[in-house]
Structures are given as structure tokens and as C-alpha cells.
Amino acid sequence: MTKPQPHFGDMPPEEFRRHGYAIVDWIADYFERIEEFPVLSQIEPDSLRNNLPRVAPEQGEDFGEVLKDMDRLILPAVTHWNHPNFHGLFSTSTSSVGVFGEMFTAAFDMKAMLWRTSPASTELEDVVLDWLRQMMSLPDHFEGIIYDTASVSTMHAIAAARERANLNIREQGMSGRDDLPLLRVYCSEHVHSSIDKACITLGLGTGSLRKIACNERFEMIPEELADAIEEDVEAGFHPICVIPTIGTTSTSSVDPVDAVADICEKYGIWLHVDAAYAGSAAIVPELQHYFKGCERADSIVTNPHKWLFTPFDLSVLYCRDLSVMKQAFSLVAEYLKTSDENTVKNGMDYGIQLGRRFRALKLWFVIRYFGRDGLTARIREHCRLAQLFASWVEDSPDFELMAPVPFALVCFRANPRVDDSHVSSPPVSKGRLSDEEVDTLNERTMNEINASGEAYLSHTKLNGKFTLRLSVGSIRVEQRHLEKVWKLLNESVART
């Protein structure tokens, strides 16, 4: 259905109000009904694509028609990250006030490149990042900047490390030079793939990334790091950055930042802490001890869009000396010059992106609406639920815990006791399945639960073993949701 529209200009205001209310209602209903939906979308690949016209409409359509398609076409193709039984990857969810923040941000449509093009965004960003810094008990010499994702934050951190190495890479680059030693970046073998991608992007190559072995708790072994650096320095390489992680993606393990900081200080290497997932937990007093050593870092990334109920995207990079980032990236074309450039902060000076969304607003809403206490209580509850789930695993004869649970991620697997009569291949030990059978069982269990739409789990491999990951992080998660998953798991395993 096409409709008559004004020839130019935007939607008339009364129409904006009418559809706007309808969308608010739609979202309110969606949040209320979220548990009725399958967590993972049940559509087959290409089924949305095949239901959409191949060609754009010539004439504008009534927006009411578009809204109908939200129910008819889009909703079935949505994987519901806000569902309280989304336990895959890291369980992240928005809050209602986060949605409000994005409404204003879209309406203002500011590009916070220059202070003058968006004073509100520039100044609120400073203020709200300083609030968060205090909440995380980071020292006051840290200054923050908002990027879109942790991948981009970390890429900027490594770029700053490269800049501080004083090798004139900003101007001369790295190609066609015979005076440049191999630059090295260090992280644990459990690091997030974004570190590898950052090294690729920055022209360092995956080969520049040296992955340090971990102990049985999946934590970087500082002695191994020290040895690696010593070896590299002797070989004439140039270590520029070490990246310990607080809350690795596979297991949420915690690298020993304080011990790593000792080593970085000794060699003058940039220390970047990847706390993209667990950083939010630093606001909980009894979890503070995991962050020991962060106060000595050159930079630290944390993602409020992961575990602080802020809609995607909002990643924060705190730097001991943000001016290094400016040195690395500032480049002011004539058309961006302003008379106030020496007296105000222009966001564009701190990274590759020129335009920057007004992301601080939604985080300001979140912190004000929930308060420090409300946010702390929610993260604390998630950790309690994860510990509770881990205790069920430990108490069960049919499941086993695969990693410690410092935060709200449980790594575990089914490893049921079986009647010998049911075992097809020779069991490794009496009454147990073989390693391969255990892997197969767990993968099948996961796929079964995911396909049912009742919950979403993901996996990793630990010491070669297929391991289930259950992440607790939704703002809507309650104990009953974990009880449901536990029941599903036990039923699935019992069917084997």
C-alpha cells in the first residue's frame, strides 16, 4: 500500500507521535512477552531473504505496513539476546532506559567529532566515564574515551603502544624499512580473537602475537611471559605491548595483572588490560580483588554493553595518558579546524573514526536510573546464580565443572556415569564414556537445547575437551531460569 506523502521533508509530527507510541507499546509488549519466544531464531537460512522483495519500492509505503512486517517477517528472524535464557557467548542485554538513550541519540543525530558539533556528547562522555572510573575503583589518572567495540578499543590501545615505541611508524610506516625490528605483542593463549584481528589490522601480523601458556586455571603464567620477553629481546625483537585479560572469553579466567605489570615496568612495555567482559564486575566490592594491578596499566578496556545493561555499542578505553592516543591519531584537516581546538576536547583526535555517536547518554541513563547500588546488586546476583549453578554441577554425579567460576560464567560438561552395558566402545574407566563419546554427548546436548528454543548455550574447548558455557548476565534472569536449564540438561543427558 502506497500513501500520499509530502513531496519533501520528513514524516508529519502527528504521524511520528502515532507510530512512535505504537513502537513504544510494541517494545513494552516485547519485553513482557520475551519468554514466549524461542531464544535462538528458528528460521532456516535465507527464509527472511526469500520473503522480501528483490527491489526497493518506487513509491513510499505507509509506515503501518512496515510495522506489520516487524511482526510477520523480522520477529521470527530475531535471536532474542534479551531472553533471560540466553546463556551463550556472553549473556548481554539492554535495559529499558538504554533504549530511551538510543531514542534521544538517534533524534539528535549528532556527530561528536568536534566539541562544537556536540558539546553535550563531549562533556557528558567525560563526566559519565569518570563516574564509571570511580565505580570501578580505577585511579584518577585514568581518562576514558568511548569507542564502538572492544575490538576497536584494543586496536587503538595497541596503536598507542606502537606510537609510544617511538619508531616513527605514524609517518614512515613499517613497509620498505630495514631499520625496524620485529614488534611483539603478548597475551595468553586464552585471549579473545579481537587481539589477533587488531594485530592483523595494524600491520603487525598474527606472527607478532606471542601467546603465553596458562596454568591449570587458564591464567597466564607470568614466568613464561618474562622468559618469552627475555628471549625476544635477546633475538633483537621489540616488545611493545602485553595484554592480560580479566575475564577471558572461554572461561572468564583472570590473568595475574599485578605480576604482569612488574614485567612490563621492567621492560618499559605498554600494559593493556582486556576487561571487556568482566570490567563491570569491578564495581562490586567483593570482586575488586580480581582487578589488582589494573591501577598500574597503561590502558584498560571495559564494555558497558556487555554487563552493564547498556545497549550495544559502547566500549570504554581508559588510558593513563590519553595524549598518546591523540599523538597517534590526531590529524586536523582544514575543513575541521576551529578556533577553539586548543582549549576543548575534540573526540575525533583520539581515534580512527571521525564521527562519533552520542553514546554517553544511554550510559548516563543507566547509571542514574539504577544507581551504583542497583547495578552492583544485579551483577552480584548474577555471580550468585552462576555459583549456584556451578554447585549443582559439582554435586551431580553426571556433570563436572571444567574451570573456576570467578564471575558469572560456568564452564562444565556432562560426563555421566553409565551402565557398562550401554557403552558402545570400550570405556576409558569403568562406568564412564570415552573422551570422544563425552564430546559427542555434550555437543548433541547443546544442539538439542539450542534447537528447542528453550535456552541458548555455547561451547568452547578446554584442553581439547568440548565444554559447555553458561553465561548469566541478562537483566531479566532469575533463579528459575537456571533451574530450567539444569532440568533441560539433565533430561537431555538422561535420554542418552
- Show contacts with its own copies in window 295-354 (CB under 8 A): 305, 309, 311-313, 328-329, 331-337, 339-340, 343-344, 352-354
CA neighbours closer than 13 Å in the CB half-sphere of residue 436: 5
Contact present, 80 and 37 (Cβ < 8 Å): yes
CB of 430 to its own copies, least distance (A): 31
- Show contacts with its own copies in window 416-445 (CB under 8 A): none
CB of 351 to its own copies, least distance (A): 8
Determine, following the binding rule CB under 8 A, whether residue 17 of this chain makes contact with its own copies: yes
Chosen residue from 36, 166, 178, 429 binding its own copies by CB under 8 A: 178
- Name the one range near its own copies by CB under 8 A: 37-45, 221-229, 258-266, 395-403: 37-45
Pick between residue 63 and residue 486 the one whose CB is nearest to its own copies.
63
> What is the SS3 assignment for 452?
helix
- Show contacts with its own copies in window 358-377 (CB under 8 A): 361-362, 364-365, 367-374, 377
One character per residue 442-471, x = contact with its own copies (rule: CB under 8 A): -----x----------xxxx-------x--
Copy the grid coordinates of residue 465: 575437551
- Residue 436 neighbours by CB under 8 Å, 6+ apart: 425
Q: Which of 366, 351, 365 is nearest to 147 (CA)?
A: 351
Pick between residue 228 and residue 261 the one whose CB is nearest to its own copies.
228
H-helix segments, 165-256: 169-172, 193-201, 222-234
Chosen residue from 37, 38, 81, 259 binding its own copies by CB under 8 A: 81
CB of 192 to its own copies, least distance (A): 7
Distance CA 39, CA 453 (A): 5
Copy the grid coordinates of residue 19: 507510530
CA angle 354, 355, 358 (to 5 degrees): 140
Q: Residue holding cell 574451570?
A: 403
For 34, list phi and psi in degrees, rounded to 5: -55, -30
Q: Which of 373, 467, 383, 364 is nearest to 121 (CA)?
A: 364
Distance CA 75, CA 51 (A): 13
- Show contacts with its own copies in window 116-155 (CB under 8 A): 116-120, 123-124, 126-127, 130-132, 134-135, 148-152, 155
Pick between residue 151 and residue 188 the one whose CB is nearest to its own copies.
151
CB of 296 to its own copies, least distance (A): 24
CB of 466 to its own copies, least distance (A): 9
Chosen residue from 1, 4, 36, 45 binding its own copies by CB under 8 A: 45
- Show contacts with its own copies in window 231-270 (CB under 8 A): 237-238, 249-250
Determine, following the binding rule CB under 8 A, whether residue 392 of this chain makes contact with its own copies: no
- Residue 412 neighbours by CB under 8 Å, 6+ apart: 390, 393, 399, 400, 401, 402, 467, 468, 470
Number of residues counted as binding its own copies (CB under 8 A):
175
Chosen residue from 85, 94, 245, 415 binding its own copies by CB under 8 A: 94
- Name the one range near its own copies by CB under 8 A: 10-18, 262-270, 289-297, 423-431: 10-18
Determine, following the binding rule CB under 8 A, whether residue 355 of this chain makes contact with its own copies: yes
Determine, following the binding rule CB under 8 A, whether residue 11 of this chain makes contact with its own copies: yes
If DSSP states are collapsed to H, E and C, what string results for 365-397?
A: HHHHHHHHHHHHHHHHHHHHHHHHHHHHHHHCC
> Which DSSP string do the residues of 18-31 spell out, in sequence order?
HHHHHHHHHHHHHH
Determine, following the binding rule CB under 8 A, whether residue 164 of this chain makes contact with its own copies: no
Determine, following the binding rule CB under 8 A, whether residue 98 of this chain makes contact with its own copies: yes
Determine, following the binding rule CB under 8 A, whether residue 401 of this chain makes contact with its own copies: no
